[in-house]
A and B are shown apart, each in its own frame.
Chain A
Amino acid sequence: MTRWTDLVDAGARATFAAYFAKVDRALAALPRSEAEEIKAELEAHALDAFAASGEATSALSQLGDTDDFLPALVADRLRARAGRTFNPGDIAAALMRSAGAGIAGLATTVAAGLGYAVAVICVALGIVKFFAPHGTGVYRLDAGGIFIGSDANVQGVDLVGMWFSPLAIAVGVCLYVVLTWTFGRATVRKRAPLGCRPMED
């Protein structure tokens, strides 16, 4: 028997169907090939456990509630994908999933999110400098202090001039690259419950 759909016992087949429907929902955020690979691995495990115990509910209870281990696995895979592609969409998906993987995941998401916000602001200011050279950049204010940003009414001395544009864009891009590289390699674990939780029908 290579699939649970080959199970002769209709009751066992129904129990497996319900469990793997949950698995499908949990893996929906991953690319299809990755989701299919994880699902195939879990199916093989579940079938081995069923062969040993002869009881579908017991076998799937051993494997555990999908809520206890799949969110962390999906978040790890999405982070790894973001770290490979550097695609903003992949990064956003990974950030959202990591936020759901416990307190550590939430903290990672908040920290990375703030970093990405700073990167975007740097690049935006660098571009704005081209269109609004007066009022955007690093200024020593007449009243004292330093201003970094964009304000048409700023009164002070532009310390960097037009160099601000390539510098700000470079800082933003470097920050984006470093953050994505680091975030893509982060491993965040949601604490699994101690002991096995009984299967809920």
Chain B
Amino acid sequence: MDETVRDWERRWRKSVLPFAALAALRQGPKHGYALATALRDLLGAAAPEGTLYPLLNGFEREGLTIAEWAIQEAGPARKTYALTPKGEAVFDAAVKSWNGFSESLGGLTQ
């Protein structure tokens, strides 16, 4: 049974990854490693960090994020992602939806 619950937990963490990524970017622009670090704490080892890159590519194509390369004083240049107004609107709508879902589920689990 523990293995079943652990499997569910891994699937829940993985399925909220796009929402969590938008939430992390809502807090401020981030490059890939910073985003992975923010999400690692939240999601545990739910998925390899490289899976963020197809996700970020999809966000850019859908107009939810905008990216730019920043030359650093030390270290390699980094590509930083920030939410667009459309991305912020989508995130705000997702938060409302998530809260409703969470409330419904909370009613069942009490």
Contacts and interface: CB of A to CB of B under 8 A. Distances in A.
A and B are partners in one complex rather than unrelated chains: yes
A69 B51 contact: yes
B106 interface: no
Nearest to A189: B54
B90 interface: no
Contacts of A41: 32, 53, 78-79
Interface string A173-201: 00000000000010101001111110000
Interface in B48-71: 48-51, 53-54, 57-58, 61-62
Nearest to A62: B49
Contacts of B89: none
Interface residues of A, number: 36
B107 interface: no
A64 B51 contact: yes
Given A44-B76, A72-B54, A189-B54, A64 B10 contact: no
B contacts with A: majority SS: helix
A185 B33 contact: no
A64 B46 CA distance: 12
Contacts of B46: 194-195
Nearest to A75: B54
B3 to A, nearest CB: 12
A76 B59 CA distance: 12
Contacts of A76: 54, 57-58, 61
B76 A63 contact: no
Closest 3 CB pairs of A and B: A64-B48, A48-B33, A64-B50
Interface of A: 1-3, 37-38, 40-45, 47-49, 62-66, 68-70, 72-73, 76-77, 80, 185, 187, 189, 192-197
Given A41-B78, A66-B50, A193-B48, 4 more contacts: A48-B33, A73-B54, A194-B7, A195-B10
